Amino acid sequence: MQIEHLGIINDRDRATGGPGSGKGTQCIKIVETFGFRHLSAGDLLRREIASNSADGAMILNTIKEGKIVPSEVTVKLIQKEMELSENHKFLIDGFPRTEENRIAFEQIIGVEPNVVLFFDCPEEEMVKRVLNRNQGRVDDNLETIRKRLKVFEALNLPVINYYSQRGKLYKINAIGTVDEIFEQVHPVFRAFEQVVG
């Protein structure tokens, strides 16, 4: 498997963090502008749940509890999609969320991301966005959202610090219109393409 560019999108609030910061919306704009293949860890997990497999049942129970799915399960789903793609530029949305995720990803896939975007959004705004998106997801309720934010806060900071120390982290203010936020995202990918292109 050849990987030309790899970007990772993550999100968090200064104090807590996570779901509903607008990363999925920005991924669509990045794909349209820069030609990446978008892989959403959450979408891949939900698709596995819908397949009614044994892994799907385990994933569903884990998500309902507001916990993180085992790293190997998520990485293998991502790897399968990468291997099936004819594109060599990947944008991975919502993964890694823990240091264990990061290590498993880099060991199994064999690469580090070139760019990591970090969407910074206040907790109240994330809760409001998740509740308003009304996608019918099993984890889009107030109790589960609060659990997800606590889990995110506890586990994501080491990943953010790791990529920051390696000079790969770009913090994006996730408050504003979609276009205002993309004005911050665009130069990161434009500069990166010029360096490696």
Report yes or no on 196 lying in a domain.
no
Asked whether residue 91 is assigned to any structural domain, the reply reads: yes
- Which amino acid type is present at position 11? D
pLDDT of residue 12: 38
| Any domain includes 133 | yes
Per-residue pLDDT, 79: 94
Average pLDDT over residues 184-195: 82
Q: Mean of the per-residue pLDDT values for the chain?
A: 81
Residue 4 domain-assigned (yes or no): no
pLDDT of residue 112 exceeding 50, the answer is: yes
Structural domains counted in the chain: 1
Tell me the pTM: 0.76
| CA 54/CA 194 separation, integer angstroms | 44
CATH number of the domain enclosing 107? 3.40.50.300
Please tell me the predicted confidence (pLDDT) of residue 58. Answer: 95
56 is in which domain, residue-wise?
A: 10-189
In a domain, 58, yes or no: yes
Quick: pLDDT tens for 68-105: 789 999 999 999 999 999 998 899 988 888 899 999 99
**Which tokens go with 6?**
């790899």
CA-to-CA distance for 167 and 158, rounded, in angstroms? 14
Mean pLDDT for the stretch of residues 146-167: 84
pLDDT at 186 over 90: yes
- How many alpha carbons fall within 13 Å on the CB side of residue 178? 11
Assigned domain for 194 exists = no
Per-residue pLDDT at 74: 94
What does DSSP say about strands 89-93 and 37-40: parallel, antiparallel, or unpaired?
parallel
Residue 63 has pLDDT above 90, yes or no: no
Long-range interactions of 99-104: CB distance < 8 A, separation 24+:
99/155, 99/158, 99/159, 99/162, 100/71, 101/68, 101/71, 101/74, 101/75, 101/159, 102/159, 102/162, 103/71, 104/71, 104/72, 104/75
